[in-house]
Structures are given as C-alpha cells and as structure tokens.
Homo-oligomer: A and B are copies of this chain.
Amino acid sequence: MLGDMNDHADPREGAGLLDGLTASLRPDQLDTSPSALDLHARGESWDAVQPPAVVVYPESTADVRRVMALAHETRTPVTPVAANSSLGGHTVPVAGGISLDLTRMDRVLEIAADDFLAVVQPAVTYPRLNEALRATGLFFPVDPGAEASLGGMASTNASGTLAVRYGVTRDLLLGLEVVTPSGRVIRTGGRAPKSSSGYALTQLFCGAEGTLGVITELTVRLVPRPEAVMGARAAFADVRGCVAYVTDVIQSGMPVARCELVDAATIGAIRQHLGLELPALPTVFLEFHGDAASVRSASELALALAEEHAATEASRATDPEALSALWRARHQAYYATIAAHPGMANVITDIAVPVSRLAGVIEGSLAAAERTGAPTYLIGHVGDGNFHLVLFFPPDDGAAHARVEAAYGEMVELALAAGGTSTGEHGVGLRKLPYVRAEHGDAVDVMWAIKDALDPRGIMNPGKKLPAKVN
C-alpha cells in the first residue's frame, strides 16, 4: 500500500486540485480551516490522526462525480465520511487528500411502502429513516447502535441487535448508486425483490468500506413492524452459564429477534451511566417478534429453558416503554463503559464465530483479556455468534497498549481457528488489517485484483480494508 501511496500527488503541493474544486463547487462546500481539518483527522475509538488537505461537502451525486473526476485526474486520495461513528479507523484520511464529507446528502428521497422499500441519500441515519417510516407500519431493521448513516452502514455491512432475525445490511440492500473512482455514476441492483441479472455489484460495494467507490444513494428493503413484541431477560451466576443458555436457545431453533449477552461489568457501567436498575449479573436479553400468541409461547419456552439452565433470575417484559428502555441501555452499553473510564484509551474486538464454538472462544478471549490486566467489558450479539470485548488502558502506557494489542491478536486467532471472522459487523478499516490475510488466504489476491480493476490509481480510501499486497 505504501508503494501505491507514493503515486499520489500531494494536493497541498499542486494547486490543480484546489483550483479544480474551487471552479466546480461553491466556496461553502470546501474547507481548509485548521478546525475542519482537525475534525476530519480522526475517527471514533481510533488513535491514528491524519488531517486531510481539504474537506469537501458535496450536496448531490453530480458534486461527488465532479470531485471524483478531479481526484482521479490529480491522483488525490479520497476518504468518504458521514456520521463518523466507525470504530475501526475507516474515516481517518491516512494518505491525506480529500475528506469527502457527505453529511449534506441526507434526504429521504422516496418511501414506497407498497413495495417495502425506501430510497435514501447516504447520510440519512437509520433512526431518522425509521422516524420517516413511522406512519407506514414498516421499519428498517438494522440498528448498529451509534447514530450511524446508511451509507456508512452499507460500506461496513453493519448489523446490530436485530440481525439474528432480519439479516445484516447486505441482506437489506436492493440497489445502490455509486460514483466510481474515475468519476462515473453507475446504478446497481434495482427495485425488484430479487434478480439473477448481472454480477452482484450491490453486495460487492456493500462492505467495501469506500475502497471501490462512493455510495451516493441506497435503495433499502423495509420490513413490517411486528404485530407483537415480547422481551425476556435471564441472569446467570457467570458468563459461562449465559453462553450455555444462549447456545441452547439458538440451537433449539427458537425464533428470536434479538439475543444479546452483557457481562456483570457492563451491567455495572450501564447502571452508573443511565441509572437503570438491573441486577449486576451476566445477563442474556432476548426479544421475540410475531403475533401475540407466538411471542407468548416463544418467551415461555425461553423462560423454561432458563430455569433448566439454573438461571439466577429470569423475567419477561411486554411493556413497550420498559422494552425500549432496555434496548436503549443496550445501545448505550459501549458508551457507558467509556464513561466509566474517563481519559482512558480502549480497543474493541468484533469477533464472530459459529454458535457451537461461542463458549470456547468467549472463554479463551476472556482469559487472554485477563492476562493483560486491562479492565474488560463483554457485550455480545451472541445470537449470531458475534461479541465485543472492550479493553481499557492508559493512553500513555505503551506497555499496557502493547499487551492489549497482543491479546487482540490472540482473540482473532481463536476466532479464525473456530472458522470465524475477525469482524462480524464493524469492518476492517485499519483495525483488523493485520488479520485479513490469515482469514482469507489467497482470496486476498482476488480482492486486490478487483480493487485494482475498479480503482487503478488507488485513490479510494487507501490503506483500508485490504492488507498490503504480497509481491
């Protein structure tokens, strides 16, 4: 990658780019002020800091097309960003150049409730889309937790608590509009519920983390709001008890819509941060969607199973407000752990494994975390084999940081040995680059062949997603 980056012109040296941008866009669409550059120099939970040369605010696909054509011509790196809620350094412009801030492209363009689809611009967040859908009886069921933008969610193939029932972002995309690295506008997919025509470009751009083009419009599937929702909670003496229970719940084929595991430390942080009254025990949170009868019978089954597993406490929740408070708490869990460690740095893992391997991999990961001595929190979408450990360390303690990073590597190794992945939902960004070759082997060369074919000048979000080429 570094070799490629040497090909990039330094846009601060050449006036061509800035002149071109000034000629193509309004003055308020460009910002080279130190505060703007600084604001676009970093991502959430990532310590690399690299300011771009210029921040550009496109307001339309035509704007993006003009910017990409100029970037192509001048070999300028482009790093797209919208909500900037990535946890993997995706939006840090490590090669400088343009920070393409899409936040002004934030319109819901169409809601076609009869066809269960919506068309949105990339900076629309999923909560705002759901707000717009309120009257339709439909919703968009991917909830990565942060106020993430749909463009970013598509770029990382984000998921969240409901993926176990409704699928991940890739499953919910019908089509995209993409500006290619050379400034051409293409449309992928369409509005039909299914198609076998063409290569799967929609799926390919999804999860490409902005390395193959800029997503300027998304056509997303919507699903009917469930007739009835019921929640259940089961607390156990230890994490092992939780995982054994979850494994049984999933393997029973019970139709769960959410299946989350939070350890006692995280519950403590949530209690502190949000003032919620929850027992300070490792807890499994379940939710069932369906008609009234089926959610009742599924939740009864879940409670019976909890009793079999000797749960310390188990209960159901139907009250919509209690449910929504519960899931708000879950969505805030990561921020609650951060609030518990002011001034500390953290890393967050994102392993996913087959459900049968969850117990062993969680156990091994917790053991690796414990050896570092770092305060550690477990938060997991365990229904689909995905869990996060958040490890804290003092930002100026290089030895502690090194121990945490070494443990991170051990955990990924455990996941890969179990047939799993280094990243279930956050994406690679910069964070998982060291593990991509181990996970994908020679398939990485095929990925590079695609990258080189679509972005021959290597200007799209360079340094992310794919590890350096092996020559």
Q: Using a CB–CB distance below 8 Å, which chain A residues touch chain B?
A: 112, 114-117, 137-138, 156-159, 163-164, 167-168, 170-171, 180, 184-188, 190-201, 203-204, 206-208, 212, 224, 251, 253, 290-291, 293-294, 297, 350, 352-357, 384-386, 415, 418-428, 432, 435-436, 439-447, 449-454, 465
Which B-chain residue is minimally distant from A155 (CB atoms)?
Answer: B196
Q: Do A452 and B450 contact each other (CB < 8 Å), given the known contacts A198-B440, A354-B117? A: no
Can you list 15 A-B contacts (CB < 8 A)? Answer: A180-B446, A184-B442, A190-B420, A192-B415, A192-B421, A192-B424, A195-B421, A196-B207, A196-B350, A196-B423, A197-B432, A197-B435, A198-B439, A199-B450, A200-B208
Q: Assess whether A191 is in contact with B294, with CB atoms less than 8 Å apart.
A: no
Contacts of A191 in B (CB 8 A): 353-354, 418-420
Q: Assess whether B193 is in contact with A352, with CB atoms less than 8 Å apart.
A: yes
Q: Assess whether B442 is in contact with A198, with CB atoms less than 8 Å apart.
A: no
Q: Do A419 and B192 contact each other (CB < 8 Å), given the known contacts A197-B439, A293-B293? A: yes
Q: Assess whether B447 is in contact with A198, with CB atoms less than 8 Å apart.
A: yes
A453 to B194, CA, bound (A): 27
Identify which of A200, A357, A384, A432 gathers the most chain B CB atoms within 10 Å of its CB: A200
Tell me the smallest distance from the CB of A150 to a CB of chain B, in Å.
15
Contact check: which of B194, B253, B453 meets A425 at CB < 8 Å? B194
Q: Assess whether A194 is in contact with B424, with CB atoms less than 8 Å apart.
A: yes
Tell me the smallest distance from the CB of A56 to a CB of chain B, in Å.
23
Q: Assess whether B198 is in contact with A444, with CB atoms less than 8 Å apart.
A: yes
Q: Assess whether A355 is in contact with B194, with CB atoms less than 8 Å apart.
A: no
Which B-chain residue is minimally distant from A193 (CB atoms)?
Answer: B384
Contacts of A350 in B (CB 8 A): 196
Contacts of A356 in B (CB 8 A): 112, 114-115
Tell me the smallest distance from the CB of A460 to a CB of chain B, in Å.
13
Q: Assess whether A115 is in contact with B446, with CB atoms less than 8 Å apart.
A: no
Q: Do A425 and B196 contact each other (CB < 8 Å), given the known contacts A115-B354, A137-B253, A297-B291? A: yes
Contacts of A171 in B (CB 8 A): 167, 171
Contacts of A444 in B (CB 8 A): 198
Contacts of A439 in B (CB 8 A): 190, 197-198
Contacts of A352 in B (CB 8 A): 192-195
Contacts of A384 in B (CB 8 A): 192-194
Q: Do A428 and B201 contact each other (CB < 8 Å), given the known contacts A137-B253, A192-B352, A441-B187? A: no
Q: Assess whether B206 is in contact with A200, with CB atoms less than 8 Å apart.
A: yes
Q: Assess whether A355 is in contact with B114, with CB atoms less than 8 Å apart.
A: yes
Tell me the smallest distance from the CB of A199 to a CB of chain B, in Å.
5
